[in-house]
Copies of this chain bind each other. A is one copy, B any other.
Amino acid sequence: MPHEYETNGAAIYEESFRTIRAEADLNRFDVDEEPVVVRMIHAAGLVGLERDVAFSDGMATVARAALKGGAPILCDAFMVAEGITRKRLPADNAVICTLRDAEVPEMAARMGNTRSAAALELWRPHLEGALVAIGNAPTALFHLLNMLEDPACPRPAAIIGCPVGFVGAAESKDALMQDLPCPAMIVRGRLGGSAITVAAVNALASRAE
């Protein structure tokens, strides 16, 4: 016997988001933040994630406005770039990942850092007013913070800081919220990753659910 299941994509989204809103504690988030957290929980399949999400004041509002104004989206990993739903973007925004640019391996060797960190040096021409989406490498987030210690470095509009893992992830996200070189959002601790990061970008890009 064939399996019976919900086959209507819109109905699946609606029921998913209703379940998340029934189960998760979302009271502390404002109207610009709440749909972002809901979509992040959806991508992770994990109610409770909301407890670890932190926005600096106004980050979600600033990020939404930046995207409407045409801000490029700078991604540390191709999985992040791949997941961003282009038709949700309000201004046909550029989605940029420099990780495989030809000069990156040599730059990484010269810098004594990872390719993920070295690739961010190639963001400089795009960084002013951009939305940064770091969903993989703690070294990328740490290197960005060090780049932004130079007042001459262009400022992004906002940073989504969601690197994942066991070495440097928690520390790099805490450092982001302490330095706060621009409005920022993180998932505290080890959790993070490309799917959660993509969900945040997609929710900031459009209010459509």
Contacts and interface: CB of A to CB of B under 8 A. Distances in A.
A145 interface: yes
A191 interface: yes
A112 interface: yes
A35 interface: no
Interface stretch (A56-64, A126-134, A153-161, A163-171): A163-171
B145 A3 contact: yes
A117 B198 CA distance: 22
Contacts of A55: none
A21 B40 CA distance: 27
Contacts of A5: 138-139, 142, 168, 171-172
Number of this chain's copies in the complex: 2
Given A82-B82, A192-B45, A16 B139 contact: no
A6 interface: yes
A17 to B, nearest CB: 8
A19 B149 contact: no
Interface string A1-28: 1110111110010011001100000000
Given A2-B146, A3-B146, A194 B191 contact: no
A194 B194 contact: yes
A94 interface: no
A79 interface: yes
A136 to B, nearest CB: 9
A179 B18 CA distance: 30
A119 to B, nearest CB: 13
A113 B2 CA distance: 14
Contacts of A88: none
5 contacts: A3-B146, A12-B168, A15-B166, A42-B166, A79-B79
Those 4 A-B pairs whose CB atoms lie nearest each other, nearest first: A45-B190, A16-B166, A45-B164, A7-B113
